[in-house]
């Protein structure tokens, strides 16, 4: 005899009413009523892991429920392709590019392969990030509306990689960036779309305190003591070793534990090496918990964030920093470096604390631990800031608005 | 129950932010940027900033003032820029003129600060608007109150703040309708006096709903 597993209940648009207010959802329906049946294709490079896949996994069903004919396609490629695109990613963030010249041909060959495989005939095609950027070559006679959604900071790109990509980018009808400072001077319109989180997703929904406590204990973390947490994949740009140093700076004065928890991403071959560096930096300190979490750990991440006293995001470079958004949504006081999209979220002294160095981060953490009422106020205001700008429905609204404008609606 | 001569049509506006090519790294560049920026950009950094951070009532109310304080550390100039009340302006040209005048006077009086590099640049942006009817209207004060309670923040912002510029009057959509369509001049004036700088959009809505309920209970 088999036992049928209960099917997970699909999240519907109306489920957002209690969280965001019915007016917000009604507004989406009003906008979408002018886009019924319009075709949209979203293309990116990974189905799981990383902020882009997370956003698309909610954005697509909501747009579908609103009546748009939307599909989401993921490009495929071998390890060689993803090593190259990882090198692109680091180089576009300003790092060196050390791949051989033929890497560009490999990149284009995989894009061509995907061009043959994908439909790419929608009225609105949104290509996410550099990996599939060359798919624009599939466009014939300027048909449809093509938009390049860049989730990374392009303010200081490596010139070799950018000069290769730019000719593709400027063939789009517009480019979307996560912050004005990530954008570049381009001959096409540039739009500002903040990335977002889904407040009803496993990673962000309300949790029973008992579940939070049990999760912490399962990882050997003491729920009764102060917990500092950074949730990020193990990437040098997230400076996990710097976080260990900041924690050590706090620990000189205040008792605390540090949780460094990271998920792997299918397009990140460097993760293992960085994880090893972190373990070495942590040494034998029993209060440092380095957790390598698989991609299906949304609930655990939620619990770790909710159980934290202060959430840290000590990135050296950052796209937008959705882990900051998640922490703010959970009303956590956040100490984060003033890079990338973080200052957009963390308005210093209003919705969190910004730091410009490891020492500064350590000081701000100590300040918040010593002033819990200020920490609580920042958490409340941070939550409102996210509710207004960085939740999935805000992103849906921006896409609907952009599509309407592209169709000439005003 | 008094019926209005014309119904109130509830509308919402949605905005996409367009990033312009202009940025400023010091006060002089901000002043020059204001000269060259579009009306949509002045609107974005003054009127729309009230919507974007409506939940904060402390701090400064427009992006220029906020940047001058946070990135240039010039509190006096920031206060002067923040003191410009958008309710006093019928055109963006006037508002731009006053912003420029204040900046120019400060730069002239404080040349040592005028070209000092800010901690972070100011990026000029524009708000691109799409408006859509929400599909409901009010013929009576009761229906108007019910409608107010259903509105999103964006819709409240559109009718209560952004409308001032569209109407070219020193009033807002709500007050205009209360006065001209339903003949409640006193309520219209009181609604127009709700302080949009010291209230959040949510608290402004609550005050307005309270005023309407008070009127209904008479």
Q: Give the pLDDT confidence of A84-103 residue by residue, as tens digits.
A: 999 999 999 888 998 999 99
Write out residues in chain B with pLDDT < 70, as ranges. 1, 54, 57-60
Chain centre to alpha carbon of residue B133: 20
Chain centre to alpha carbon of residue A82: 19
- Residue whose structure tokens are 């404080």: B110
Which of chain B's residues have a Cβ under 8 Å away from the Cβ of A183?
19
The whole-angstrom separation of Cα B158 and Cα B13 is 6
The whole-angstrom separation of Cα A67 and Cα A56 is 16
pLDDT number for residue B179: 96
The whole-angstrom separation of Cα A332 and Cα A308 is 8
The whole-angstrom separation of Cα B124 and Cα A276 is 43
Residue A401 touches chain B, beta carbons under 8 Å = yes
Q: Chain A: nearest CA to B17, how far in angstroms?
A: 5
Which A-chain residues 16-45 have CB contacts (< 8 A) with chain B?
21-24, 26-27, 30-31, 33-34
pLDDT number for residue A122: 96
pLDDT at A322 > cutoff 50:
yes
Residue B38 touches chain A, beta carbons under 8 Å = no
Residue A408 touches chain B, beta carbons under 8 Å = no
Which of chain A's residues have a Cβ under 8 Å away from the Cβ of B120?
181, 343
For residue A30, give the H/E element and its range: helix A22-32
The phi and psi torsions of A266 (rounded to 5 degrees) equal -65, -20
Q: Are A168 and A133 in contact (CB under 8 A)?
A: yes
pLDDT number for residue A3: 44
Closest residue, chain B, to A189 (C-alpha): B18
Q: Please give the average per-residue pLDDT across A175-198, as a whole number.
A: 92
Which one of A401, A407, A408 would you mutate to disrupt binding with B, by most B Cβ within 10 Å of its Cβ? Answer: A401
A313 pLDDT band (50/70/90 cuts)?
very high
Residue A140 class from Cβ within 10 Å (0-12 exposed, 13-18 middle, 19+ buried)? exposed
Residue A191 touches chain B, beta carbons under 8 Å = yes
The whole-angstrom separation of Cα A150 and Cα A170 is 13
The whole-angstrom separation of Cα A370 and Cα A380 is 18
Nearest to A14 by CA among A2, A6, A22: A22
The whole-angstrom separation of Cα B144 and Cα B178 is 9
Which of chain A's residues have a Cβ under 8 Å away from the Cβ of B12?
27, 30-31
pLDDT number for residue A306: 98
Nearest to A150 by CA among A118, A128, A117: A128
Nearest to A143 by CA among A167, A159, A125, A158: A125
Q: Which among A30, A385, A388 has CB closest to B132?
A: A30
A365-390 tens-digit pLDDT? 999 999 999 999 999 999 999 998 99
pLDDT at A259 > cutoff 80:
yes
A405·B130 Cβ contact <8 A: yes
Query: What value of ipTM does the predicted structure carry?
Result: 0.90
Cβ count near A223 (within 10 Å): 14
pLDDT at A265 > cutoff 60:
no
In A100-158, alpha helices (H): 103-117
Residue A155 touches chain B, beta carbons under 8 Å = no
Q: For chain B, give percent helix, strand, coil, nearest 5.
A: 55, 20, 25
The whole-angstrom separation of Cα A221 and Cα A259 is 8
Q: Which residue has the higher pLDDT, A289 or B54?
A: A289
pLDDT number for residue A9: 59
């Amino acid at each position: 005899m088999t036992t049928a597993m209960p099917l997970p209940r699909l999240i519907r648009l109306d489920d957002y009413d209690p969280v965001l207010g019915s007016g917000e959802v009604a507004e989406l329906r009003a906008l979408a009523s002018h886009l019924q049946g319009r075709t949209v294709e979203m293309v990116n490079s990974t189905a799981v892991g990383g902020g882009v896949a997370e956003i698309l996994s909610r954005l697509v069903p909501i747009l579908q429920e609103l009546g748009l004919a939307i599909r989401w396609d993921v490009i495929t490629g071998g390890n060689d392709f993803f090593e190259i695109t990882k090198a692109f990613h680091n180089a576009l963030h300003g790092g060196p590019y050390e791949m051989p010249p033929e890497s560009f041909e490999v990149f284009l060959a995989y894009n061509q392969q995907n061009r043959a495989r994908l439909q790419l005939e929608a009225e609105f095609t949104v290509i996410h990030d550099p990996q599939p950027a060359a798919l624009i070559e599939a466009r014939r006679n300027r048909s449809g509306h093509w938009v390049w959604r860049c989730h990374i900071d392009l303010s200081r790109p490596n010139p070799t990689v950018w000069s290769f990509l730019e000719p593709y980018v400027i063939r789009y009808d517009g480019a979307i960036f996560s912050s004005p400072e990530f954008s570049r001077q381009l001959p096409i319109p540039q739009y500002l779309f903040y990335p977002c989180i889904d407040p009803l997703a496993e990673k962000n929904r309300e949790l029973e305190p008992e579940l939070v406590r049990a999760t912490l204990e399962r990882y050997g973390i003491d729920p009764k003591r102060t917990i500092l947490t950074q949730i990020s994949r193990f990437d040098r740009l997230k400076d996990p070793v710097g976080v260990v140093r900041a924690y050590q700076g706090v620990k000189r004065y205040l008792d605390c534990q540090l949780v460094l928890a990271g998920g792997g991403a299918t397009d990140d071959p460097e993760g293992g090496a960085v994880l090893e560096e972190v373990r070495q930096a942590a040494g034998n300190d029993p209060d440092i918990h380095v957790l390598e979490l698989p991609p299906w750990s949304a609930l655990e991440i939620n619990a770790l964030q909710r159980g934290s006293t202060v959430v840290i995001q000590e990135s050296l470079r950052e796209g937008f920093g959705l882990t900051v958004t998640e922490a703010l949504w959970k009303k956590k006081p956040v100490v984060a470096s003033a890079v990338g999209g973080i200052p957009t979220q963390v308005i210093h002294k209003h919705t969190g604390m910004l730091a410009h160095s490891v020492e500064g981060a350590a000081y701000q953490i100590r300040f918040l631990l010593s002033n819990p009422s200020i920490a609580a106020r920042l958490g409340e205001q941070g939550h409102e800031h996210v509710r207004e700008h960085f939740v999935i429905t805000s992103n849906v609204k921006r896409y609907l608005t952009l599509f309407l404008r592209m169709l000439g609606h005003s | 129950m008094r019926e209005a001569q014309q119904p109130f049509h509830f509308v919402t506006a949605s905005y996409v932010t367009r990033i312009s090519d202009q940025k400023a790294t010091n006060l002089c560049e901000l002043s020059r940027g204001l000269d060259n920026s579009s009306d949509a950009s002045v609107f974005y950094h003054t009127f729309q900033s009230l919507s974007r951070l409506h939940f904060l009532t402390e701090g400064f109310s427009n992006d220029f003032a906020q940047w001058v304080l946070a990135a240039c550390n010039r509190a006096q100039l920031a206060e002067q820029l923040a003191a410009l009340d958008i309710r006093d302006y019928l055109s963006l040209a006037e508002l731009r003129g006053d912003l420029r005048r204040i900046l120019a006077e400060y730069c002239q009086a404080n040349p040592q600060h005028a070209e000092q590099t800010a901690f972070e640049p100011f990026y000029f942006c524009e708000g691109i608007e799409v408006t859509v009817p929400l599909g409901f209207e009010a013929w009576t004060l009761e229906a108007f109150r019910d409608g107010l309670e259903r509105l999103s923040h964006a819709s409240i912002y559109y009718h209560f703040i952004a409308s001032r510029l569209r109407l070219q009057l020193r009033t807002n959509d709500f007050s205009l309708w209360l006065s001209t369509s339903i003949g409640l001049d006193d309520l219209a004036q009181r609604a127009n006096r709700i302080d949009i700088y010291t209230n959040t959009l949510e608290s402004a809505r609550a005050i307005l709903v309270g005023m309407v309920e008070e009127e209904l209970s008479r």
